[in-house]
Amino acid sequence: MDRRTALAVVICMLILMGWQKFFIEPRMAAPIGTSASAPAREEVNPATAPSAPNTLAQGLSPSTVHKSSSPLTIDGNNGQIRLDDGKNFLSDWILKDYKQGMSQDAPLVDLKALTHQEGQLQLAFDDSSLAYLNQVQGTLTPTPHGATWSYEDSNVKLLREFTLTPNNPSMEARITAEFKTRSPRFAFISLVSENASQDQEAQDQQLLYWHQGLERVPLKDGLEQKQIAAPVKFIAATSRYFLLAAVDESPVAPNALQQPAGPKTGRISLVYPVAGNAIQIPLKIYFGPKELNALRSVDPTLDQAVDFGWFTICAYPLLKLLKWLYQFVQNYGIAIILLTLLLKMLTFPLNYKSMKNMKNMARLQPQLQRIKERYKDDREALNREMLSLMKNNGYNPMAGCLPILIQMPIFFALYRVLYSSIELYHAPFGLWIHDLSSRDPLYITPVLLSFTMFIQQKLTPNTATDPAQARMMQLMPLIFGAFMIALPSGLTLYMLVNALASIGQQIFLNKKLDIKPA
C-alpha cells in the first residue's frame, strides 16, 4: 500500500469515527406503512392526530390532588424496583451489579443516572378534562409476584398491574383504564430523557423507537415534534451502556409521538387509540445494561439498541470471540490483546499481498515518472501509457486497495464493539488502567500509540513523491494519538497493540520481500 492509499485510509477512518462519535443524526423515518407482523389498522388522520398530552393539572382542589408519595419497593431480577403511587409507573429502578463510578462509595446505576428525571413512564390522555390524573395518588398493593396500583373517581377507574417472572430481566405491566363519563381519543405511555452536559455519556444519550427498523433520536440539539403514524414496537431512552425500554405487547401495535420537553430534553410516547369506554395496554418494561442476551430475552428487536454502526454483522462475531477469550484469561484487557493478535494473524495474507504489490509499484516508479514528464500535456495519453506499463509488468492497481477494503469492516466493527460493549464497563486491565470503558487517566497509551505509529511509518516503504502529502503523513501519528485521548482505554489499547504488531509484521515483510523502509 503506497503512502497515498495509506493517507486515504487513515483519513477515512478518522472521518468515520468522528462521524459516528459526534455527528450521528436521526435517520429519516420510513414511509408510513403496516408492519408485516401486525394486522392492518386505521391510520391516524393528520387533521385529527393526537396532540401533546397535557402534563399540568388545572383547576383542581387540594382535596383532589395528592402530593405525598409512598413508593413500594420490590426485588427484580437485576435490582430493586421502586413503584410510584403517583403519576409515574416507576419511582426508581436501582441496578445491583453496576455503579456510576469506580470508587467504593459510588452510587449504583439507577433511572435518574440514565434519563436525569425523577421517576419514569406515565399514562396520559388527549382529553384536557382528564389532565388532573397525572397529579393523583393511587393505592399500591403487593402481590405474590409483583404489585398493583389502583385509583378510581367519578370519571375514571385506573389499574396498573406489575408482574415479575424468575430469571426474566424485564417486568410485565398491564395498564387498564375504564371511563365512566366521556372517553378520550388517545392514550399515551410516555418516557422522558434529558441530555445533561455533566454526564460523561451525554454524546450517546438518545431516544429510540422501533418501526421496521431502529430509529435513533439524538437529544443534543433539542427535539422537534414528530408523529410516527405507523406501527411501533417499542420506545426507549438510552446511553452508551444502559437502556430503559417500554415494549408493546398488544395484538395491534400502537403509533408513536416524539416531542420536546425542555432544552435538550425529549419525550417519546406510544400512542394507543381508545375504542369504546375502556382500554387495556400490556407492556414489558426493561431497565438495565445493554447486554445482547438480556435484550434479546425481552424482545428480539431490542438488541439493535446496542450501536455497532454500519458493520454490525461483523461486530456480533467479534464480541462473541472477545467474550470467549475472556473465559480463559478473566481480564478483558488481555482478551483485547489476544483478539488483536489473532486478527493480525488472520489478515496477514492480505497484508503480504498488499506489500508485494507495493514493491512492484516502487519498481515501476522511475518509468511512471518518465511517462508523466513525456505526456504531461496529454491526459488521455498519460493514462493510456501508465495503464499499459502496469499491465505489461503484472501490476494491478486494485490489488493494493483490496486487502485494505476487506480489513476495514473488521476494524470499524471492532472499534464499535470496544466503544459500546457493556462487557468493558468498569472492567479493569492493570497498572494505571482501572476502567477499560473510560479514557486513559494518564494519557500513556495515546502517547505510546503516536510513537509506535511514527515508527511504523518509518518502516513502511515510501512510494509517494508529493512533499505536501509526505508532511501530512508525518502529522498522522500526532492526529491519531490526540483523537484517542478522549476515547475508551480499551479501544486505545487495541490500537496500540495493533500498531506494535504491525511494526513486527512490517520488519518481517521488509526482510522477506527485500523492501527498503522510508
Total structural domains in the chain?
2
Q: What is the pLDDT of residue 268?
A: 94
Q: What is the mean pLDDT of residues 50-67?
A: 44
Q: 40 lies in a domain?
A: no
Give the CATH number of the domain where residue 204 resides. Answer: 2.70.98.90
Same domain? 73 vs 178: yes
Q: Report how far residue 195's alpha carbon sits from residue 199's, in angstroms, rounded to the nearest whole number.
A: 8
Q: Which residue has 409483583 as its cell numbers?
A: 146
Closest CA relative to residue 3, chosen from 344, 447, 11, 370: 11
Q: Report how far residue 6's alpha carbon sits from residue 8's, in angstroms, rounded to the nearest whole number.
A: 5
Give the N- to C-terminal CA distance of the chain in Å, as an integer: 13
pLDDT in tens, 80-110: 999 999 999 999 999 998 988 888 888 999 9
pLDDT in tens, 29-38: 333 233 333 3
Q: What does the block give as the cell for 377?
A: 500535456
> Chain-centre distance of CA 198, in angstroms?
19
Same domain? 140 vs 204: yes
Closest CA relative to residue 488, chosen from 10, 17, 7: 17
pLDDT in tens, 293-337: 999 999 999 988 988 888 888 889 999 999 999 999 999 999 999
Q: Report how far residue 493's alpha carbon sits from residue 301's, in angstroms, rounded to the nearest whole number.
A: 31
Same domain? 359 vs 275: no
Q: Is the pLDDT of residue 58 over 50?
A: no
pLDDT band at 186 (very low <50, low <70, confident <90, very high): very high
Q: What is the mean pLDDT of residues 464-490?
A: 74
Same domain? 141 vs 242: yes
Same domain? 376 vs 261: no
Q: 333 lies in a domain?
A: yes
Residue 27: burial class (beta carbons within 10 Å; 0-12, 13-18, 19+)? exposed
Same domain? 126 vs 248: yes
Q: Is the pLDDT of residue 57 over 50?
A: no
Same domain? 456 vs 507: yes
Q: 235 lies in a domain?
A: yes
**Which of 299, 315, 345 delimits the end of a domain?**
299
Same domain? 57 vs 121: yes
pLDDT in tens, 124-158: 999 999 999 988 999 999 999 999 999 999 999 99
Same domain? 87 vs 224: yes
Q: Report how far residue 416's alpha carbon sits from residue 209's, in angstroms, rounded to the nearest whole number.
A: 21
Same domain? 293 vs 352: no
Same domain? 115 vs 216: yes
| Whole-structure pTM value | 0.78
Q: 305 lies in a domain?
A: no
Q: What is the pLDDT of residue 27?
A: 34
Q: What does the block give as the cell for 4?
A: 497515498
Q: Report how far residue 442's alpha carbon sits from residue 202's, in angstroms, rounded to the nearest whole number.
A: 22
Closest CA relative to residue 264, chosen from 322, 209, 221, 324: 221
Q: 95 lies in a domain?
A: yes
pLDDT in tens, 367-407: 777 777 777 777 777 777 777 766 666 666 655 566 667 77
Instruction: List, edge to edge, every strand of the sheet that includes 255-262.
Output: 72-75, 79-83, 88-95, 120-125, 186-194, 265-273, 255-262, 226-228
Q: Which domain holds residue 414?
A: 329-512
pLDDT in tens, 263-282: 888 999 999 999 889 999 99
Q: 34 lies in a domain?
A: no
Q: Report how far residue 72's alpha carbon sits from residue 23's, in angstroms, rounded to the nearest whole number.
A: 41
Sign of CA dihedral 211, 230, 175, 144: negative
Query: Any idea how long the chain is?
Result: 518
Would you list the DSSP string of 346-391? HTHHHHHHHHHHHHHHHHHHHHHHHHHHHTTT-HHHHHHHHHHHHH
Question: Do 174 and 147 touch, CB atoms closer than 8 A?
Answer: no
Same domain? 176 vs 217: yes
Q: Is the pLDDT of residue 28 over 90?
A: no
Q: Which residue has 437485576 as its cell numbers?
A: 78
**Rounded mean pLDDT of the chain?**
80
Residue 339 CB neighbour total at 10 angstroms: 23
Q: Report how far residue 287's alpha carbon sits from residue 497's, in angstroms, rounded to the nearest whole number.
A: 35
Q: What is the pLDDT of residue 299?
A: 92
